Amino acid sequence: MASWKSLTRSNIAWALVALAALLIFNLFFTPHFMHLEIREGHLYGNLIDILKNGAPIMLLAIGMTLVIATHGIDISVGSVVAMSAGVVAILIGGDLAGNPKYPILVAMLAALAICTLAGMWNGMLVSRIGMQPIIATLILFVAGRGIAMLFTNSMQIWLYAKPFALLGQGYVLGLPFDIYIVGFVLLATYLVARRTAVGMFIEAVGINPTAARFSGINSRNILLCAGIAGLIVCSTVMNADGNNAGRLFELDAILAVVLGGTSLNGGKFYLLGSIIGALIIQTLTVTIYAFGVPSDVAPVVKALVVWAFCLLQSPKFRLTVAQMFVRREQSI
């Protein structure tokens, strides 16, 4: 049963088991959890909500997966999300009648451009100057939110433009529009990462930068690419949700990637795993709310989950546990 063994050993399997366990738990303990209905041609229900509300984290997690695969980390995504939100909000603005100030496409392209610029900036600091990724992205983490606030003059801007609302609230073929964005980005990233050499380069850099250099891979350029990838993705998120400040997004995204089985030490990455990770987080959040826990307390549960998963991934912890079992058997 070689295939069974490889399945249980793969990290995605564990993420799937965790997600399934959560869903089954909800099936029994949360009333109406699996309830789906069609209202005005749209699908409604808890499961759809999880997909829809999890979309931003899923998008961020896709980009973050690539960054983490290079043994890097990007803590600036939340701030960059805020920046792109600021740009979109200002450019679209719009009056009460729903007419945008500038065409929506222009606004979105501008936001994308700014985010890509931010990603290239991060990538440049890491690859050309050789800063640690945490520190390089820390700079934008600190400054980014300030820049976003300057864009909007520290006011909340309400968006009245109608076509823009489609991105965040619209439905296509009965499913929320966000899900299609996630699907498209996932597919595009998958094709680039798995069907071209880029993905292999990323893994090579993450596993051993020195070896990768000897085999002729320029790790610097790859890191640059990863930065761009992460940020193109995250700008898409913001287009879907104009007023969201993206608080603690970076943490959720990192958590999703870790839950999905990509090791923080770089190397092998699992795009699909990260998506499942994001779903776990969202389901967990819904479950916590369903039990009447105040939303502010939810981070406690998240923290415990992160610690538990880190321990499960730690070879040292696995060894310790294994030894405990061995000793017990011997004593019997």
Partner 1 sequence: MKMRPLTGFRNLPVFVTLGLFIIMFGIGSFAFPGFFAVQNFLNLFIDNSFLLILAVGMTFVIISGGIDLSVGSMLALAGMVASSLLEKVHMSPILVVPIVLAMGTALGLFMGYLIQTFDLPPFIVTLAGLYLARGLCYIVSLFTIAVKNPFVVAAAHAQVHLFGGNFLSPGALIAIAVVLIGFFISRYTKFGRTVFAIGGSETSAILMGLPVAQTKVAIYALSGFCSALGGIVFTLYTLSGYGLNGSGMELDTIAAVVIGGTLLTGGAGNIFGTVLGVFVYGTIQVLIVFEGTLNSWWTRIVIGFLVFVFCLMQRVFERRRGVQGLRSVQAKVAKAG
x-marked contacts with partner 1 along 192-231 as a string, rule CB under 8 A: ----------------------------------------
- CA dist 136 and 307 (Å) reads 25
Residue number with CB closer to partner 1 (189 or 262): 262
* Contact string 145-174 vs partner 1 (x = CB under 8 A): xxx-xx--xx--------------------
CA-based torsion, 220, 223, 228, 229: positive or negative: positive
CA dist 141 and 76 (Å) reads 4
Q: Single out the residue of 169, 317, 324, 327 in contact with partner 1 (rule: CB under 8 A).
A: 317
| Least distance CB 223 / partner 1 (angstroms) | 15
Distance CA 67, CA 229 (A): 8
Give the nearest distance from C-beta 114 to partner 1 in angstroms.
15
Residue 2 or 155 with smaller CB distance to partner 1: 155
Q: Are 275 and 64 in contact (CB under 8 A)?
A: no
Write down the least CB distance from residue 24 to partner 1, Å.
25
**Whose Cβ is closer to partner 1: residue 254's or residue 275's?**
254
Please report whether residue 187 would count as binding partner 1 according to CB under 8 A: no
The residue range among 94-102, 144-152, 220-228, 267-275 that interacts with partner 1, by the rule CB under 8 A, is: 144-152
Full DSSP string of 294-329 = -GGGHHHHHHHHHHHHHHHH-HHHHHHHHHHHHHHH
Part in contact with partner 1 (CB under 8 A); list of ranges 25-33, 93-101, 136-144, 226-234: 136-144
* 301 is a contact residue toward partner 1 (CB under 8 A): yes
CB 257 within 8 A of CB 64: yes
In this complex, which beta carbon is closest to partner 1, that of residue 25 or of residue 307? 307
DSSP 59: H
The C-alpha torsion from 177 through 183 and 184 to 189, rounded to 10°, is 150
The distance of closest approach from Cβ of residue 295 to partner 1 in the complex, given in angstroms and rounded to an integer, is 9
**Interacting residue with partner 1 among 13, 23, 139, 207 (CB under 8 A):** 139
Residue tagged 């019997």 (tokens) = 332
Give the pair of three-digit tokens for residue 274. 């990260």
Among 6, 8, 99, 132, which residue sits at the site for partner 1 (rule: CB under 8 A)?
Answer: 132
In angstroms, the Cα distances linking 70 to 219, 223, 225, 257, 269 are 9, 7, 11, 13, 9
Other CB atoms within a 10 A radius of the CB of residue 149 amount to: 15
Question: Which residues in this chain contact partner 1 in the complex, by CB under 8 A?
Answer: 73, 125, 129-132, 134-136, 138-147, 149-150, 153-154, 251, 254, 258, 264-265, 294, 296-304, 306-307, 310-311, 314-317, 320
